[in-house]
Structure 1
Amino acid sequence: MSSKSKRGFASMDPERQREIASKGGRAAHQKGTAHEWSRDEARTAGRKGGEVVSRDRAHMAAIGREGGEARGRSTARQRQSGFADRESIVSITREGMPGHGAAGERSQATPTQGEATR
Protein backbone atom coordinates (compact mmCIF):
# COMPACT_ATOMS: atom_id res chain seq x y z
CA MET A 1 0.00 0.00 0.00
CA SER A 2 1.35 3.45 -0.85
CA SER A 3 1.95 6.19 1.71
CA LYS A 4 -0.66 8.88 2.15
CA SER A 5 0.02 11.94 0.04
CA LYS A 6 -1.17 15.36 1.06
CA ARG A 7 -4.13 16.63 -0.91
CA GLY A 8 -5.89 19.95 -1.28
CA PHE A 9 -5.04 22.65 1.24
CA ALA A 10 -2.45 20.46 3.00
CA SER A 11 -0.46 20.01 -0.21
CA MET A 12 0.10 23.77 -0.61
CA ASP A 13 3.16 25.53 0.67
CA PRO A 14 2.62 27.38 3.99
CA GLU A 15 2.78 30.83 2.36
CA ARG A 16 -0.06 29.97 -0.05
CA GLN A 17 -2.13 28.50 2.82
CA ARG A 18 -1.63 31.70 4.80
CA GLU A 19 -2.66 33.84 1.82
CA ILE A 20 -5.92 31.90 1.32
CA ALA A 21 -6.74 31.88 5.04
CA SER A 22 -6.13 35.62 5.21
CA LYS A 23 -8.55 36.24 2.34
CA GLY A 24 -11.16 34.09 4.08
CA GLY A 25 -10.78 36.05 7.30
CA ARG A 26 -11.13 39.40 5.53
CA ALA A 27 -14.21 38.18 3.66
CA ALA A 28 -15.85 37.01 6.90
CA HIS A 29 -15.26 40.40 8.53
CA GLN A 30 -16.70 42.24 5.52
CA LYS A 31 -19.71 39.94 5.50
CA GLY A 32 -20.19 40.34 9.26
CA THR A 33 -19.94 36.64 10.07
CA ALA A 34 -16.46 36.70 11.65
CA HIS A 35 -16.25 35.54 15.25
CA GLU A 36 -15.80 38.34 17.79
CA TRP A 37 -14.59 37.24 21.22
CA SER A 38 -16.37 38.61 24.28
CA ARG A 39 -14.36 39.22 27.46
CA ASP A 40 -15.95 36.22 29.19
CA GLU A 41 -15.40 33.97 26.20
CA ALA A 42 -11.74 34.99 25.96
CA ARG A 43 -11.23 34.52 29.71
CA THR A 44 -12.76 31.04 29.59
CA ALA A 45 -10.68 30.02 26.57
CA GLY A 46 -7.48 31.33 28.18
CA ARG A 47 -8.17 29.50 31.42
CA LYS A 48 -8.92 26.27 29.54
CA GLY A 49 -5.70 26.53 27.52
CA GLY A 50 -3.66 27.36 30.61
CA GLU A 51 -5.01 24.34 32.47
CA VAL A 52 -4.17 22.02 29.59
CA VAL A 53 -0.63 23.38 29.22
CA SER A 54 0.10 23.34 32.94
CA ARG A 55 -0.78 19.63 33.18
CA ASP A 56 2.28 18.84 31.07
CA ARG A 57 4.92 18.76 33.83
CA ALA A 58 7.82 18.25 31.41
CA HIS A 59 6.77 21.32 29.42
CA MET A 60 6.45 23.45 32.56
CA ALA A 61 9.87 22.25 33.78
CA ALA A 62 11.41 23.18 30.43
CA ILE A 63 9.90 26.68 30.62
CA GLY A 64 11.25 27.15 34.14
CA ARG A 65 14.67 25.87 33.14
CA GLU A 66 14.86 28.30 30.21
CA GLY A 67 13.94 31.18 32.49
CA GLY A 68 16.57 30.21 35.04
CA GLU A 69 19.25 29.87 32.40
CA ALA A 70 18.35 33.25 30.88
CA ARG A 71 18.51 34.86 34.32
CA GLY A 72 21.90 33.25 34.94
CA ARG A 73 23.26 34.53 31.63
CA SER A 74 21.99 38.03 32.38
CA THR A 75 23.61 38.05 35.82
CA ALA A 76 26.91 36.76 34.42
CA ARG A 77 26.90 39.48 31.74
CA GLN A 78 26.29 42.16 34.37
CA ARG A 79 29.16 40.87 36.47
CA GLN A 80 31.49 40.85 33.47
CA SER A 81 30.59 44.40 32.47
CA GLY A 82 31.20 45.75 35.96
CA PHE A 83 27.64 46.34 37.11
CA ALA A 84 27.96 43.90 39.99
CA ASP A 85 28.80 46.75 42.37
CA ARG A 86 25.36 48.33 42.03
CA GLU A 87 24.18 46.24 44.96
CA SER A 88 27.29 46.72 47.08
CA ILE A 89 27.54 48.98 50.11
CA VAL A 90 28.81 52.48 49.39
CA SER A 91 29.61 54.85 52.22
CA ILE A 92 28.24 58.34 51.76
CA THR A 93 29.48 61.07 54.07
CA ARG A 94 28.66 64.74 54.49
CA GLU A 95 31.25 65.39 51.83
CA GLY A 96 29.27 63.28 49.34
CA MET A 97 30.05 60.08 47.54
CA PRO A 98 33.72 59.24 47.03
CA GLY A 99 34.99 60.48 43.68
CA HIS A 100 32.03 62.81 43.06
CA GLY A 101 33.27 66.02 44.70
CA ALA A 102 32.05 67.47 47.96
CA ALA A 103 28.40 68.19 48.60
CA GLY A 104 27.58 71.85 48.13
CA GLU A 105 30.95 72.48 46.51
CA ARG A 106 30.89 75.49 44.13
CA SER A 107 32.75 75.50 40.88
CA GLN A 108 35.96 77.50 40.70
CA ALA A 109 34.66 79.59 37.78
CA THR A 110 35.19 83.35 37.77
CA PRO A 111 32.21 85.24 39.23
CA THR A 112 29.97 87.06 36.79
CA GLN A 113 29.59 90.84 36.94
CA GLY A 114 26.41 90.62 39.05
CA GLU A 115 28.00 88.24 41.57
CA ALA A 116 31.12 90.39 41.96
CA THR A 117 29.14 93.44 43.13
CA ARG A 118 27.16 91.63 45.82
Structure 2
Amino acid sequence: MTEKYVGTTPRPKRGFAAMAPERQREIASLGGRAAHQSGHAHEFTSEEARIAGRKRHERRSPGA
Protein backbone atom coordinates (compact mmCIF):
# COMPACT_ATOMS: atom_id res chain seq x y z
CA MET A 1 0.00 0.00 0.00
CA THR A 2 1.47 3.35 -0.96
CA GLU A 3 0.61 6.33 1.13
CA LYS A 4 0.66 9.86 -0.12
CA TYR A 5 3.25 12.10 1.52
CA VAL A 6 1.45 14.53 3.78
CA GLY A 7 3.78 17.29 4.85
CA THR A 8 4.48 20.90 4.39
CA THR A 9 5.57 22.18 1.04
CA PRO A 10 9.17 23.37 0.92
CA ARG A 11 9.45 27.07 1.62
CA PRO A 12 11.23 29.30 -0.86
CA LYS A 13 14.72 30.38 0.09
CA ARG A 14 15.04 33.78 1.71
CA GLY A 15 17.81 36.24 2.44
CA PHE A 16 21.39 35.01 2.11
CA ALA A 17 20.32 31.55 0.90
CA ALA A 18 18.36 33.04 -2.02
CA MET A 19 21.36 35.00 -3.33
CA ALA A 20 23.54 33.86 -6.17
CA PRO A 21 26.68 32.03 -4.98
CA GLU A 22 28.89 34.77 -6.45
CA ARG A 23 27.09 37.43 -4.38
CA GLN A 24 27.39 35.30 -1.24
CA ARG A 25 31.16 35.05 -1.80
CA GLU A 26 31.42 38.81 -2.28
CA ILE A 27 29.65 39.49 1.02
CA ALA A 28 31.67 36.83 2.89
CA SER A 29 34.88 38.29 1.47
CA LEU A 30 33.97 41.74 2.76
CA GLY A 31 33.34 40.28 6.21
CA GLY A 32 36.69 38.51 6.21
CA ARG A 33 38.52 41.66 5.18
CA ALA A 34 36.76 43.68 7.87
CA ALA A 35 37.69 41.11 10.52
CA HIS A 36 41.36 41.29 9.55
CA GLN A 37 41.37 45.08 9.52
CA SER A 38 39.78 45.27 12.95
CA GLY A 39 42.16 42.66 14.36
CA HIS A 40 39.47 40.10 15.19
CA ALA A 41 40.54 37.48 12.62
CA HIS A 42 42.96 34.76 13.65
CA GLU A 43 45.57 33.19 11.40
CA PHE A 44 47.16 29.98 12.62
CA THR A 45 50.94 29.80 12.63
CA SER A 46 52.41 26.49 11.51
CA GLU A 47 53.27 25.72 15.14
CA GLU A 48 49.68 26.32 16.27
CA ALA A 49 48.37 24.14 13.44
CA ARG A 50 50.82 21.37 14.37
CA ILE A 51 49.66 21.42 18.01
CA ALA A 52 45.98 21.43 16.99
CA GLY A 53 46.55 18.50 14.64
CA ARG A 54 48.35 16.55 17.34
CA LYS A 55 45.48 17.13 19.80
CA ARG A 56 42.94 16.06 17.19
CA HIS A 57 44.75 12.81 16.45
CA GLU A 58 45.14 12.03 20.15
CA ARG A 59 41.37 12.27 20.61
CA ARG A 60 40.63 10.10 17.57
CA SER A 61 42.86 7.17 18.51
CA PRO A 62 42.55 6.47 22.26
CA GLY A 63 44.34 3.09 22.03
CA ALA A 64 47.37 4.33 20.14
Q: What TM-score does the superposition give when structure 1 sets the normalisation length?
A: 0.35
Match of 1:30 in 2: 37
Match of 2:49 in 1: 42
The one-letter code matched in structure 2 to 1:16 is R
Match of 2:27 in 1: 20
Identity %: 59
Q: What TM-score does the superposition give when structure 2 sets the normalisation length?
A: 0.58
Q: 1:11 to 1:38 in 2, by over 3 A?
A: same
More relative contact order in 1 or in 2 (CA 8 Å, sep 6+)?
2
Q: 1:46 to 1:21 in 2, by over 3 A?
A: farther
Structure 1 runs (4+) greater than 6 angstroms displaced = none
The one-letter code matched in structure 1 to 2:18 is S
1:42-85: CA deviation from partner (whole Å, max 9, x where unpaired): 2225984xxx8xxxxxxxxxxxxxxxxxxxxxxxxxxxxxxxxx
Root-mean-square deviation (CA, aligned residues, Å) is 2.5
User: How far, CA to CA, are the matches of 2:26 and 2:54 in structure 1?
Assistant: 27
Aligned length: 49
Match of 2:11 in 1: 4
